[in-house]
Amino acid sequence: MFGVEDESTIRLLAVEDDPNDQTWLLALLEESTVGTYHISFAPTMADAEVSLTVGEVDCVLLDLSLPDSHGFESVERVAKVAPHVPIVVVTGQDDKDMGIRAIEFGAHDYLSKHDLTGDAVLQAARWAKARAASRGQGHGALSRLSAPQLRVARDARMLGANDAMVQLLRLEDESALVGQPVAGLIDEAFRPDFMRVCGTVLQGASGAMALPAKVRAADGHLLARIALVSLLGEDDLAELVVFFADPKPA
């Protein structure tokens, strides 16, 4: 187990059997500036299942090629043992389709080893943890998250925004947003993909999806962001929560 621990520390379990990749991941995390972390390693799926049963973990970093488990079976096994712990797949295959399929099988996000950084690992883990908290605890958990966020109804109209989102858009309060179509905030060049992703998540085809977007502030400025669209609730009253992350590492 490695890393410095305090109240803001994120607890990671890396399921990775290659000692070289374990050392490489540690080196990346040592260079990160995102925040504090605590990491332990499980070289097999059997070891991971034990660790998830007896220990406290905020996020699993999952390799898809293990001695006793392979591919999306690994995602399903982690989700079965610890359904409330988010999974970030870390794959050596530079294949976006594999990442998207991993999300369909229960992962919260995916990262490619080819262009990985320590900041990217910790940011992905923290976002996954935040999304998991929003699903498990409802609006109360969302109110404690500092990232800019919107709540969007099934008819694609905005239900509300937190203070960080109001500040990002340079508004006085959220009243100017409530009841308005969310599409109006997104630049035309990014709008079709954004609305398609919202529809995909709302239909339950994926628990969460991320994509680049440009958000239009009240003064007309376009702000480049990564939009993370997540589903809140599981019935006909379910709504979307859209987080807007800075595309640059913190």
Query: Long-range contacts: 73-80, Cβ < 8 Å, 24+?
Result: 74/15, 74/45, 75/102, 75/105, 75/106, 75/107, 76/105, 76/106, 77/45, 77/48, 77/49, 78/15, 78/45, 78/48, 78/49, 78/52, 78/106, 79/105, 79/106
C-alpha radius of gyration, the chain, whole number: 18
**Model confidence, pTM:** 0.57
Q: What is the pLDDT along the chain (250 residues), one digit of tens a residue?
A: 444 444 578 999 999 999 999 999 999 999 988 788 999 999 999 999 999 988 889 999 999 989 999 889 999 999 999 988 999 999 876 666 777 788 778 888 888 888 789 988 998 888 778 767 655 544 444 444 567 889 898 889 998 888 889 999 999 988 889 889 999 999 999 999 999 999 888 887 666 788 899 999 999 999 999 888 888 765 555 688 898 887 765 4
Enclosing H/E stretch for 214:
strand 208-216
- The domains found in the chain, sorted by start residue, are 10-137 (3.40.50.2300), 140-245 (3.30.450.20)
Alpha helix positions (H), 31-185: 45-54, 72-81, 96-104, 118-137, 139-142, 163-168
